Amino acid sequence: MPQIPHNPLRRAGVLLHISSLPAGDFGAGAHHFVDFLAEIGASIWQTLPLNMPHDDGSPYQCLSAHAGNPAFISLENLVAENLLKGSDLTALQANRDELLDLAYVHYKQHHNAALQHEFVNFCHENVAWLGDFAVFLVLRNKFRRASWNTWAKAYKNKQPAMMASVKKRYATEIAVIKFTQFLFFRQWLTLKHYANERGIAMFGDIPIFVAFDSADVWAKPHLFKLDSNKCMKVVAGVPPDYFSETGQRWGNPHYNWQAMQANGFKWWLGRMRTQHRMFDLVRIDHFRGLEAAWEIPAGEDTAINGEWVLAPGGALLNVISRRFPTMHLVAEDLGVITKEVDALREQYQLPGMKILQFAFGGKDDNPYLPPNIDENSVVYTGTHDNDTSLGWYQQLDEQSKGHLHVVLGNQAPKMPQALVQLALETKANIAIIPMQDILGLDTSHRMNVPGTMGGNWQWCFDWAALKKEQTECIKDAIKQSNRANKWH
């Protein structure tokens, strides 16, 4: 291996969503994972979005751009804080909603002045979104989870008299929703503090678009491209690409950028404020949509018949950088990238993403080839949308496999360890390795297959699957590549 000079900016991290932890929450297992990161010399924990998903579980289609997923709240931690009893967990078993309701009842009964003050402050600090979200969730349950644009007129249009009536009639339910969000953020920030104390940064992810059936679109429909009946005129996606011959029709609404820009991007600044509080770094998913986005007529079944429509990304990033000067943003610049997208990213000096699984079998100017990766990059073996590196290698065509072998200088490499080491050896300041690749797992452990419905977002690991030699292998690779540097 070539000698790699020491550079304190060179860091390594691991990609693992909270749902992929054995317990799938912010409890003891999450803190143990922080300890594991510290042990191997990693200084970054990257997750997928932590927002509250729809029934399909996708963290990229959520009910709010702000609200957290209650499934990540550790019930055991609530027992430790006397908000639940151990017997409650046994009696109600897996009924998480009832247990969170009960935690609010216990909170009201215990009259813990410090906790009450903390909750009141939380509601005040998040007033811009929390109230609308709580009412939205109450109404969504009232209408049996039907999309908000099918609700009765007064509810669909958020009429003031209806809002006042709902807030009065469902005051307890609204309070429970707010308290549940309080618990989510409280536990997450406790975990973040634990990680930061150990020199580990939390790396979040913002889906560039929000779901149509969300509190955001219901509360502020004028900020989105909707028709007079508040249905989408165009939907988001991407044209045919590596992942799909017919493109990807995501179905999200497009922004009414003119309306957003008219009020100084207030909605976006609120969204970034939440993310800045939660994370040390934030990836903007589908960054190219800030320069131009693929707009598909809502009636189209695929993403083929769309068009690129310009967006005021420069103006938005200028406002964000002035409001949050210490915010570390990363641009997910995969897919069809133009010189204009590159120029926008470079103007704000945002690191781009490099995926080694996209590097082989083509020409020498492929931007994902290790020699072409520069310092201001975040390199991955693969992301949550890719196959595991072992699964990818096992299905790789012979030409690409031969090219990989030449780059590695090894005709019989041990995979996925060889690809992991290759990522760590690149010039990129940050290298992120999916947990599946550390564990050496195959295709059956893939997180997501883009463009498919069902069977995604369900992978989780077992600590028993992590062998001592795997821990030592990644620890040594991080050290040898001079990436064993703490975040701060």
Q: At what angle do helices 171-197 and 160-169 cross, to 10 degrees?
A: 80
Backbone Cα Rg of the chain: 23
Distance CA 261, CA 291 (A): 14
- The residue annotated as part of the active site, out of 81, 132, 205, 332, is 332
- The residue annotated as part of the active site, out of 205, 285, 291, 425, is 285
The pairs formed by 269-275 with CB atoms below 8 angstroms and a separation of 24 or more are 269/319, 269/320, 269/323, 270/66, 270/128, 270/129, 271/65, 271/66, 271/206, 272/320, 272/323, 272/324, 272/327, 273/323, 273/324, 274/65, 274/66, 274/126, 274/129, 275/204, 275/206
Does the annotation mark 216 as catalytic? no
Does the annotation mark 332 as catalytic? yes
Contact 51, 39 (CB under 8 A): no
In the block, tokens 């600090």 appear at 125
CA distances to 149, 202, 234, 470 from 106, in Å: 36, 31, 46, 44
Q: How far from each other are the two terminal CA atoms of the chain, in whole angstroms?
A: 28
Comparing CA positions, the residue from 372, 276, 370, 378 lying closest to residue 11 is 378
- The residue annotated as part of the active site, out of 342, 385, 442, 476, is 385
Comparing CA positions, the residue from 93, 85, 76 lying closest to residue 30 is 76
From the CB of residue 67, how many other CB atoms can be counted at a distance below 10 Å?
Answer: 27
Contact 376, 352 (CB under 8 A): yes
Q: Which residues are catalytic?
A: 285, 332, 385
